Structure 1
Amino acid sequence: MGAEGSTGLTPGFGAERGGTCFRAAVPLGGRLSLSGWSRGGGAARGSPYLRSQLRLPGAGPLSPGLFAMGSLLLCSLLLLLAVLTPGPGDSPPTPSGTSAAFWVRLSPEAVAVPPGDSVWLNCSSSCPLPASSSLHTQLRQGRTLRGPGWVAYQLLDVRAWSSDVRCLVTCGGETREAKARVTAYKPPNSVILEPPVFQGGEYTLRCHVTHVFPVGFLVVTLRLGGRVIYSESLERFTRRDLANVTLTYAMRSRPGDLWQPVTCHARLNLDRLMVRSTSAPETLGAFAVSPTSKALASTSIAALVGILLALGATYLWKYPAMGSRV
C-alpha cells in the first residue's frame, strides 16, 4: 500500500463471505490509501471490492485517533451492507401473517344431533394474527369462545334436517373458508312387525316405524329368511317433524316360505351417518288367519254352542215326562 510515510495495517473485523476489513494509522500530512474487503488474501493481493483514496490536508493539526474512528465506522458500514445484501441462493423472508402457509379447518366436518339439540363447531387456522373470523349459517347461534388460533361457535335448537355451515378467516388481506354440515335426526322409537295374516292364498305383512325424523331419508325393508322381499324409500315425504310410518305388503304364499322368519328393518341414510333399527321376527305359519276369519270362526263356535245347549235343554225337559209314563 503506497503512502507518504510508513503505514501499519492491522486486521479489524471479520466479515461474511470470506472478506477481511483493515484499519490504518498514518502520520499527519500523509496520504491514506484504503483497500478493504479482499477475498482470500490481503489488500495487495486479490480483487478489492472497494478502493478509495483519501487526501489528508496538511494545513491544520488533526488527531490520529479521528482517522482510526472514521475507518472503524467505514468498516462497520461495509459489514452491514454485506449482511443485508442477499446472496445468489438467498430469498427474502416471507412476512408474518401472509397466506404462504395459511389454512382454515372447521370441525367436526359432519355432525348429527336429535332435533332441538345444540352443537359446538370449532374453527381453527394457521394465521398468527387473523384480521377477522366469522361463521355463516342459517342456524341460530349462541355463545362464542376464543383461543390462540381457534374460535368455537355454539349452534342452538337445530331442527333443520341438514344445514351447511361456513367459517371465514381473513389473514394478510386474503380470505379463506372451511365448511361443515349439521344434520338433525331422530332414530325410531320402535320398529314393530305384526304377526302375518294369511287370507286368499297370500300373507299380509304390516310394519310400524314410530317417531322417526326425517322421514324423507327413511328406507323400510322386509326380509324373509336371508333375502329381501320388499324395500321402499320414503324420500317423497318432506315434512320436518316426527312421524309414524306404517308399511303394508301382500306376499303370495309359496311352499318353501312356510315357517320362515320375517323381519322389518328401518334405515336412515343421513349422508355419512347410517342409523338402523330392526323388529322382532315373526314366523309364516300354515294356520295364520285374518281378523275377519277369526271373528267368523268365533261367531260360528258361539252359534254351535248355543245349538248344543238348546238341544240339551230340550232333552232334559222331555226326559222327566218319559220317566213318569214308565
Structure 2
Amino acid sequence: MGSALLLWLGAFGLGATGTREQVPFWVRLSPEQVAVLSGHSVWLNCSTSCPLVEMPSLQTQLQLGQTLRGPCWVSYELLDVRARNSTASCSITRAGETRGATASITTYKPPGSVILEPPVLVGGIYTLRCHIIHVFPVNSLVVTLRLGGRVISYDSLECFEGRHMANVTVTHQWPVRPRDLWQPLTCHWSLQLPGRVVLSSSAPVTLAAIAWSSQSKALACTSVTALGGLLLAVGGAYLRRCLARKSQM
C-alpha cells in the first residue's frame, strides 16, 4: 500500500512529504541584441517555459511605455531610446527559484547626407573622394565605391574608437582606364548593426575623360584671361589704325 501511495504522489510531482517537486524552467528576453534609431522606441519580449504565476520584473534605466501580456510572456515597450548602449533585464521567480535574461540595446543614426565629389584627374590618376556626414556608430560603418557596378574600394571603420557622431571622408586613387570612361561612380555606405543592416548610396557621377584638378582649372582660367587681354590689345590697335586712316582721308 505504501509503495502504491508513493507512485501515486510521484505521478502528480509530489514527494513523500506532500510538497511539489521543483520543475526546471527557462527565461528568455528577445531580441537579445537590438539596434534602434536614436530617439525611437523598441519592444522587448520576456518569455518563460511555464505559465506565469506573477508579473515578471524588468530592470532598465530606459523609460517604460506600454505592456502586453500572454500566458507565458510579457512584452515591454521602451520609449525614446537615446543612450549609445543600454541594457534591460527580465527576471521571473517560480517555486522560490529566480531566473533571468538580459538584452542589449544599441542606438544608431544614419548619415545626414552622402557627398561624392566629382573625380579629379592628375597625372593619369583619378582622385575619388566621398564624404559621410553626421553618422554613428562610426565603428559599424562600411563605405564602398562602385564603378559601373564593380566594387573598386572597400573601407571598414570597425577600429574607430570615437563614441560620438562624426563626419567621415574616404579617399581613393584610381588609374585611368579606357573601359572605365563614362561609367557611373557611386559611394555606398552601410551600418552593420545587431540584427539589421542599414544602407544607402550617393547620387552617381560620371567618370569623364577630362576631369580638371584645381591647379589645372586655375591655369586654364589664367590662360583664358591672358588670351582675352591679347585679343583686346590687338582689337584696340586695329581700331586705332582704322581711325587714323579715316582721319587722313
1:285 maps to amino acid: A
CA distance in 2, matches of 1:164, 1:282: 43
Q: 1:216 to 1:175 in 2, by over 3 A?
A: same
* Shift in Å, 1:111: 3.1
CA contact (8 A) 1:97 1:171 kept: no
User: In structure 2, what is the equivalent of residue 129 of structure 1?
Assistant: 53
Please give the alpha-carbon distance, in whole angstroms, between the structure 1 residues aligned to 2:149 and 2:25. 53
Among 168, 189, 193, the residue aligned to 2:116: 193
Moved more, 162-171 or 93-102: 93-102
Matched, 1:248 2:167: no
Structure 1 stretches of 5 or more lacking a match?
Answer: 1-80
CA deviation vs aligned residue, 1:240-288 (integer Å, no higher than 9, x gap): 3332222121212223322222111101101221111111222211111
Larger radius of gyration: 1
Pairing 1:285-304 to 2, within 5 Å after superposition: 285-304=208-227
Counterpart of 1:274 (choices 186, 192, 197) is 197
Q: Which residue of 1 aligns with 2:101?
A: 178
The residue aligned with 1:23 is: none
Structure 2 Cα separation of the partners of residues 150 and 319 of structure 1? 101
Q: Structure 2: 5+ residue runs without aligned partners?
A: none
Post-superposition Cα deviations, 1:136-172, rounded to whole Å, max 9, x if no partner, equal 44x4343574746544444344234443432111111
| Alpha-carbon distance between aligned partners in 2 of 1:88 and 1:320, rounded to the nearest angstrom | 133
- Distance in 1 (alpha carbons) for counterparts of 2:136 and 2:74: 31
1:224 corresponds in structure 2 to: 147
Per the alignment, residue 11 of structure 2 pairs with 92
1:233 aligns with 2:156: yes
For the residue of structure 1 that corresponds to 2:56, the secondary structure is: strand
Cα 1:146/1:312, change in 2 over 3 Å: closer
Identity %: 53
Q: Distance in 2 between matches of 1:266 and 1:98?
A: 56
**TM (normalized to structure 1)?**
0.65
SS of 2:127's partner is: strand
1:21-52 Cα shifts (integer Å, max 9, x gaps): xxxxxxxxxxxxxxxxxxxxxxxxxxxxxxxx
Structure having greater relative contact order (Cα 8 Å, sep ≥ 6): 2
Letter in 2 for 1:210: I
Match of 1:309 among 224, 228, 232: 232
Alignment of 1:68-79 (within 5 A): none
Provide the rounded CA distance (Å) in 2 between the counterparts of 1:314 and 1:324.
Answer: 16
The farther-off stretch of 152-161 and 235-244 is 152-161
Task: Decide whether the 8 Å contact of 1:97 with 1:127 is kept in 2.
Answer: no
How many equivalent residue pairs?
Answer: 243
Per the normalisation by structure 2, the TM-score is 0.82
Letter in 1 for 2:123: G
Shift in alpha-carbon separation, 1:86–1:128, aligned structure 2, 3 A: farther
